[in-house]
């Protein structure tokens, strides 16, 4: 069972007033009860989040990998939510690396090149070349490049 809730605070009339983000309460693939902030204040959007999270849990229970639609959704999640999904072992850390924006991968690569001892000029040159390719193709995530290889 999975449902949405919100934290509440007392109001002036003695009642309770919802505050902040919706929270998804669910049981994970091990049966443990979990609470996760959706970081969403809009009920329909939070409901959509809940339904997609439910599919992630269902994939994990089935021992299968999430489909392309869910992977694209994971790509758009804030880092805090991705970290929580990893912590709950609902998604694989390697899959999250695939959902990190390519520009972030490029920054990490640039730092690695500088740390390896190449000159700053050489590292900057490589970074600029890759950045031009990313800008020309408009690829933001690794999954965007799949369209290039899946043409029939």
pLDDT in tens, 96-111: 666 678 888 899 899 9
Predicted TM-score (pTM) of this structure: 0.66
Copy the structure tokens of residue 51: 């339904």
Contact 20, 6 (CB under 8 A): yes
**Residue 139: phi, psi to the nearest 5?**
-80, 125
> What DSSP designation does 78 have?
-
Contact 63, 89 (CB under 8 A): no
Contact 27, 1 (CB under 8 A): yes
Inter-axis angle of helices 120-137 and 102-115, nearest 10: 170
pLDDT in tens, 47-81: 999 999 999 999 999 988 888 888 888 878 888 89
């Amino acid at each position: 069972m999975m449902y949405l809730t919100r934290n509440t605070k007392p109001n002036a009339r003695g009642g309770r007033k919802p505050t902040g983000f919706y929270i998804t309460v669910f049981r994970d693939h091990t049966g443990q009860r979990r609470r996760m902030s959706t970081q969403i204040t809009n009920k329909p959007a939070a409901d959509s989040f809940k339904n997609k999270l439910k599919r992630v849990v269902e994939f994990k229970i089935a021992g299968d990998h999430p489909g392309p639609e869910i992977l694209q959704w994971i790509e758009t999640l804030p880092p805090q939510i991705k970290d929580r999904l990893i912590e709950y072992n609902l998604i694989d850390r390697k899959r999250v690396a695939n959902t990190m924006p390519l520009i972030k991968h490029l920054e990490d690569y640039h730092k690695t090149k500088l740390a390896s001892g190449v000159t700053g000029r050489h590292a900057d040159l490589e970074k600029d070349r890759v950045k031009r390719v990313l800008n020309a193709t408009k690829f933001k995530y690794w999954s965007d490049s799949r369209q290039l290889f899946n043409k029939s």
